Copies of this chain bind each other. A is one copy, B any other.
């Protein structure tokens, strides 16, 4: 292994999570501790910060504030949704990135994001190799959607899952107070994978879980859905349903399609309004009182209810990225290999090729969804439950959250 001396850039990309800053903390602390890394630069808004020469000198931050990043939701450095062009078609961005890397003598690039971000990592690394600029690139996984390939799970998912399960259990209680009955639809994030929607079923362990759970891994049938709801409502006088925002009919049309707003930078359709729409259909079909609840951004930023396991693993992913790069490794993403033998959960970091994760999506296995397509099976519960364990001792100030306050001092060129 060759010793490679130089700066590192760390960036955050895509939708934030409750623990993405825990990974930032892992990277920053590990990088500052190693003398091979001459300067730790944080990119403002991910790769955009590199393109715009907006880099912060993380070595000038108060270490106590860096230590608070693990309890601070969302992207402390700012995030972006920016898709790099194919370098064969347009290499403008790549030339600019090279220029910035040269300007700051950047030899390490750590990028924290989902599958689109791993694609970004991969393209940058390939370009640097093609022009003979030595730079080690490691991706750090992040997504509440939990849809990255080749890893047991992704940092950020578990905290969102815990928030969803806890909120569903609480709302269940609220929806069962009147003897007049009610149908409640809870809309949960997850465009193409049902990991988060399925996690609503964890609420069942408290005795207060949804009656029905719909994942995008199965085609949605409105008539069957209404029949399912009607059946439970008739029998019990109540019905609580968890649905993924991404449920779609057999022809691929999203059930929420009418509420399409705009598309984000990656060309994804932005969904929303589904809960209210389904609630209305249930009202027409049953005459029941209904309520649609969209967990919206709340589910991905609820650091007050983060999983301690998730925080620890997110930090570890950041640290391992730095250590691996210093060991001479490049073009990899940190992934997790886990065992759950008899309730004894273990999580080990491993490294996988960026090309294996870029632009691919991991879905909930069909056999973890019940035959009726309206609930999850025990293996799903056994998979998620260890991930949500532990309540961090989060710092508060006057009983309100105490988030990290970064100075964000621009790096001198």
Contact = CB atoms under 8 A, between A and B. Distances in A.
Contacts of A398: 205, 385, 389
B276 A166 contact: no
Interface string A69-94: 00011110011110000000000000
A55 to B, nearest CB: 14
Interface in A294-338: 294-298, 300-305, 307
A294 B401 CA distance: 21
Contacts of A169: 400-401, 403
A297 B16 CA distance: 24
Interface string A254-279: 00000000100000000001001000
A398 B307 CA distance: 11
A136 interface: no
A273 B293 CA distance: 11
Interface in A216-239: none
Contacts of A45: 177-179
Nearest to A394: B391
A132 B59 CA distance: 80
A300 B174 contact: yes
B171 A403 contact: no
Given A44-B179, A179-B80, A174 B74 contact: yes
Interface string A1-44: 00000000000100010000000000000000000000000001
A170 interface: yes
A297 B78 contact: no
Given A262-B289, A401-B166, A297 B205 contact: no
Nearest to A45: B179
Nearest to A17: B174
Contacts of A179: 44-45, 48, 78, 80
20 contacts: A16-B174, A45-B177, A79-B177, A80-B178, A81-B178, A162-B400, A166-B304, A169-B400, A169-B403, A170-B301, A170-B302, A171-B297, A174-B301, A206-B402, A293-B296, A294-B294, A305-B305, A388-B400, A390-B399, A391-B399
